[in-house]
Structure 1
């Protein structure tokens, strides 16, 4: 991350990156386009501190483990809308369902962040911002085809003037023959079916400036993903001969009134957001006919007010009030829960070399009562060397999910929810430095992090319910080096070491590799041509086998190389192509599911 970038997620205010102590990685629309990343998991794959686990290629359930914490310890926001899914057992967000066509930037904020963002932010926050319309009306789009029956299209219309801006987008992603089942798991004579995934996504963003002091903003998006994948059955379980069907519909919307009565000195935002995530699963019978669907519906409604008050030069107070209600509905259960929160943050610019951000938040949960969290993050720029010294300390919590508290799987599995569960809690700190050289053309740095997590919700010893018995400790180092040899040639390398341990069982946590590294190079040999190459290395890690009949085994590491090229045929037409997994590395992540092998894609992008 360059020191002159602007970061929003760390404090809620647009702030130069050099003034931010928290560890943040920014992924821009330009980088997504250059590397031709079509899905959110692809866009996040090289981010330090993250391990991306996708079950079975495009459309498969995708989890993100941040700094060794659990996959449900990451809070995900899209245009300020919390999209963690109340219908899943652990309230995690399925990253595999989101396409990247309308994404303007992604900010990955690491470390406990509940002092600003409330529950579910023990490991950190991923904040996604979509594109806003500006300038004269324009139409952009793309068509792409390639391996595994891939056929993708995008189309967007956008524009804006002083009083009104708009952006509408449609994206279609299709990959109908991705091989993901390891052949050695399938009995002789049984067919091996590829995965098939089809996703249609629609997005809209509108802005109205009614007066010089009052503006209205609205965002909405809807996606419908349909996946055919191979499930397991039997004892011991084996991959089925026929595919299961999963239909995942997501609807997210947020409306906002912005009132600025004092010419930027006191900006108020009043908003309401709503999410609806409907998952449907159908399993095949012995002759391949799909059965009746089982449905899980998760809803969240949220009201919030935020005020940004400039106290003096260099001192800004951010205040907020929020109320949210989440709801779960299945064939056998309907449950809901509400939470009221209030927070205050002071962002201070004490000099041109010393900056701090401090926040505190109180949440009053309808079921669990009050919970206080906080965060403090100072930065100092050393005169002469311009070394950035940074540190932060914060706390986080996550309330038990509605499923963990109330869902019963009886009598078939003799498993019951536990309404007496307590929230999970974390304490975390980090400290590091960033060093620019040669007028910013060289940057390098490292950050040490440490997290303690208590009251982890795990299955009890009798395997009949959940209980708060877990404790975990994660620590490690994130380091980077970025080099700009010329304005046309740039290289960045990241390395993360993570040690994540279950302090109760005294074992390494699953699916947390100790070593992860990435190298990305971008080169423009001529004005019309852009080339990029990315290497991602994932080290050995503990995992279970496909059906977890073997609960712990050592999964081997692997290195993947991806290449991409853009060539401007004209000002309005661009030819592009890419090769993923250049050396056809066949490995499993998670164990039991193959990562797609060597594949090639190409297409055209236009702007009118």
Structure 2
């Protein structure tokens, strides 16, 4: 089954991170995005983490970015509270190296200075799964996937006949209210699902400086849908899409005085759709896809209003051939057009790709992926990835991969009339990882992965270029390397302890520490079914050894203290279909910052009700 067909299919956990881990392992979890073809996690050489719907629902954190960042090799930064810019990094690499997909649609912003995704633009309600694939994936996804990709699942049409629905209502700190309605139904030959959600909050002042005292409010609404029809036993057609819009306040800092900060307002909208047709002809599956993504942003302060608009259109074909004996061959082609109002021209990229997954023995899988992209500005680039999976024993799996990749210059970097340079070449990367996973008979598990990524021909802003500076290619090699560890330990039939630790040494081309990347990142979680009706969980995150980072107005470089944050959640099953819960973020009211001068929330309590029907 292809990714286009199952991009919104149920995602199972790749690492046991809850008390239900033993049940999850029995379901033979799959990765949808670690290879061109869906594969069991036990067969992929990619380092993939899959977060299921139950784990997302039970997460004590308020935002999706925080939940994703609790996984090994993932970190995030946010400049304030709800609605303020939030970015996720993979293995220490900035967000521009980690494309984000929603229901298979690339939602990175083509109108930004770099093409990247702001995680404040998506609400956690209505998102039913996430998959994180780390290491260079340009051989699968083309430009920008140097650090990996993150794929999110929104509304999902059921495969089995029946119907299901859910309502979630929540209210709490900072006068925050949110609601989500999800519903899906299916017959023998068709399925449909939708999700509607919204949130609003008075927030708090994002900037912790004298004169910045007003609250920065935020409001957002979000909708998604998924539908398919089995026209015949061998032909399925489907359509999936989403829309979200948000508005709020922000604290302008650069070139402004505190007297100006009440003028900071923003509005953002995003919409995307993907239509597909999938035809089964014997051992061959053919999938044709058409997708579009559009984004618009308005930012207003005392200087005026700035408007940014971008669009991405894609058409693609994917063929999958089950040769037999565990050998799979995938091949295809795609064409993508990107444009934005910040650029004087559009960019067109055409790609050809193929992947062979070969079962050399019952315990050894080899995979080779190759992709050639032709970019309308700089020409051809070929990316490849080789991966090995060795099931050394029934409970020990060894994975290794090596891949090259690239980041294409953004539309802004190429064509902005003041700062752009159309002669820029792509950044080039080489990444390696080596990992081992051990699963024990009692359901415990532990895994460790070494990783390294090198990036050459970095595109940086050069202030020495006349008259006002411009983007240029730099010398030197940026390097990130480190170690990821994940573990789960059942402490009984009803309680489990999970942990994730990441050591990251990230350095730019001048061998200086990369900004906003902590050297040590530890996440612990304790989940328990206290009684048949009462469940709860506690998470702890400790982040240490931040490099010095620019402050709010970029006037100086300052240090950020190590911090520890504890979140907690308790839930009570009122009936079989109704659950009431209480979440408390920052339980011990830690006073901390992720970026200098930007406040993080204090102790915050939220009460909610979840009802299924």
TM-score class, shorter-chain normalisation, is over 0.9
SS in 1 for 2:530: strand
Question: Which deviates more, 12-21 or 592-601?
Answer: 12-21
The answer to whether the 8 Å contact 2:168/2:179 transfers is: yes
Partner of 2:230: 209
Asked if residue 128 in structure 1 is aligned to residue 128 in structure 2, the reply is: no
SS in 2 for 1:586: coil
Residue number among 502, 511, 519 corresponding to 1:506 in the alignment: 511
Partner of 2:196: 170
Partner of 2:9: none
Residue number among 420, 425, 428 corresponding to 2:428 in the alignment: 425
Deviation at 1:407, TM superposition (A): 1.3
Deviation at 1:39, TM superposition (A): 3.1
Residue number among 297, 300, 306 corresponding to 1:279 in the alignment: 297
Deviation at 1:501, TM superposition (A): 0.9
The answer to whether the 8 Å contact 1:540/1:554 transfers is: no
Deviations 1:444-484 (A, max 9, x none): 12111011100111111516001110520110000111112
Deviation at 1:239, TM superposition (A): 7.5
The answer to whether the 8 Å contact 1:34/1:565 transfers is: no
Asked if residue 251 in structure 1 is aligned to residue 271 in structure 2, the reply is: yes
> Which has the larger strand fraction?
1
Equivalents in 2 of 1:455, 1:211: separation in Å?
50
Partner of 2:398: 389
The answer to whether the 8 Å contact 1:48/1:494 transfers is: yes
Deviation at 1:54, TM superposition (A): 1.1
**Where do 5+ consecutive residues of structure 2 fail to align?**
1-14, 17-24
Deviation at 1:118, TM superposition (A): 0.5
Deviation at 1:319, TM superposition (A): 0.8
Deviations 1:311-341 (A, max 9, x none): 12200001120000000114xx542110000
The answer to whether the 8 Å contact 1:133/1:166 transfers is: yes
Partner of 1:341: 351
Asked if residue 22 in structure 1 is aligned to residue 22 in structure 2, the reply is: no
Partner of 2:599: 594
Equivalents in 2 of 1:357, 1:514: separation in Å?
32
Deviation at 1:521, TM superposition (A): 1.5
The answer to whether the 8 Å contact 2:155/2:225 transfers is: no
Deviation at 1:41, TM superposition (A): 1.1
The answer to whether the 8 Å contact 1:434/1:446 transfers is: yes
Residue number among 569, 572, 578 corresponding to 2:574 in the alignment: 569
The answer to whether the 8 Å contact 1:111/1:428 transfers is: yes
Residue number among 418, 441, 444 corresponding to 2:446 in the alignment: 444
SS in 2 for 1:242: helix
Equivalents in 1 of 2:384, 2:522: separation in Å?
31
SS in 1 for 2:413: helix
Deviation at 1:13, TM superposition (A): 2.5
Aligned counterparts, 1:182-197, within 5 A: 182=208, 185-186=209-210, 190=211, 192-197=213-218
The answer to whether the 8 Å contact 1:233/1:239 transfers is: no
SS in 1 for 2:346: strand
Residue number among 208, 212, 219 corresponding to 1:198 in the alignment: 219
Aligned counterparts, 1:484-563, within 5 A: 484-503=490-509, 505-542=510-547, 543-550=549-556, 552-563=557-568
Residue number among 74, 89, 96 corresponding to 2:120 in the alignment: 96
Equivalents in 2 of 1:233, 1:525: separation in Å?
50
The answer to whether the 8 Å contact 1:279/1:297 transfers is: yes
Asked if residue 155 in structure 1 is aligned to residue 177 in structure 2, the reply is: no
CA gap of 1:456–1:161, structure 2 versus 1, over 3 A, is: same
Aligned residues: 582
SS in 1 for 2:341: strand
Equivalents in 2 of 1:238, 1:248: separation in Å?
24
Deviation at 1:115, TM superposition (A): 0.6
Equivalents in 2 of 1:210, 1:595: separation in Å?
51
SS in 2 for 1:32: helix
Equivalents in 2 of 1:238, 1:306: separation in Å?
54
Equivalents in 1 of 2:261, 2:387: separation in Å?
54
The answer to whether the 8 Å contact 2:212/2:258 transfers is: no
Equivalents in 1 of 2:259, 2:558: separation in Å?
20
Residue number among 76, 97, 103 corresponding to 1:52 in the alignment: 76
CA gap of 1:42–1:70, structure 2 versus 1, over 3 A, is: closer
Calculate the TM-score normalised by the size of structure 1. 0.93
CA gap of 1:88–1:158, structure 2 versus 1, over 3 A, is: same
Deviation at 1:353, TM superposition (A): 1.2
Calculate the TM-score normalised by the size of structure 2. 0.92
Deviations 1:78-130 (A, max 9, x none): 11111111010011111111112222211111100101111110011101122
Following TM superposition, where does structure 1 have runs of at least 4 consecutive aligned residues deviating by more than 4 angstroms? none
CA gap of 1:77–1:427, structure 2 versus 1, over 3 A, is: same
Asked if residue 222 in structure 1 is aligned to residue 243 in structure 2, the reply is: yes
The answer to whether the 8 Å contact 2:155/2:224 transfers is: no
Deviation at 1:133, TM superposition (A): 2.8
Equivalents in 2 of 1:380, 1:138: separation in Å?
40
Deviations 1:172-211 (A, max 9, x none): 01111224221xx21xxx3511211100001111111111
Deviation at 1:139, TM superposition (A): 3.1
CA gap of 1:445–1:166, structure 2 versus 1, over 3 A, is: same
Deviation at 1:138, TM superposition (A): 3.3
CA gap of 1:13–1:37, structure 2 versus 1, over 3 A, is: farther
SS in 1 for 2:361: coil
Equivalents in 2 of 1:162, 1:489: separation in Å?
39
Deviation at 1:215, TM superposition (A): 0.6
**Where do 5+ consecutive residues of structure 1 fail to align?**
286-290, 410-415
